[in-house]
Amino acid sequence: MTKIDIIQDVYEKLGFSKKDSARIVESVFEIMKECLGRGEKIKISGFGNFVVKEKKSRRGRNPQTGKEIEISARRVLTFKSSQVLRKALNG
């Protein structure tokens, strides 16, 4: 599934035009990216939570060369799936 399939789904099920469906679906992901960019978490009930975590800088190794390098402090995005979704996948 790609964004095109989601747009098609919204178009078929909700009666928006193709163009409007595309604009709405695009805006959903844009809003989410902006939110995450601010470091804010997103909780989608029934689906899962997207959480931005702060990582301190640390020393690591290039696994190919074995050379020690400094890994800079960064923010990473984690996804924790909802229990509802996990149940749906297993039931």
Partner 1 sequence: MTKRELAAKAQAEFPGYRADDIAFAVYRVFDAMKEALMRGERIEIRDFGVFQVKTRRARRARNPKTAALLDLPERRTPFFKVGKDLKERLAGRGNV
Residues in touch with partner 1 (CB under 8 A): 1-3, 5-6, 9-10, 13-14, 16, 20-21, 23-25, 27-29, 31-33, 35-37, 40-48, 50, 52, 69-77, 79, 81, 85-86, 88-90
Separation of alpha carbons 25 and 43, rounded Å: 18
Q: How far is CA 89 from CA 41, 43, 78, 81, in A?
A: 24, 19, 20, 11
CB of 66 to partner 1, least distance (A): 16
Strand (E) or helix (H) holding 67: none
CB of 82 to partner 1, least distance (A): 9
Separation of alpha carbons 14 and 85, rounded Å: 23
CB of 68 to partner 1, least distance (A): 13
The residue among 13 and 66 lying less far from partner 1, judged by its C-beta, is: 13
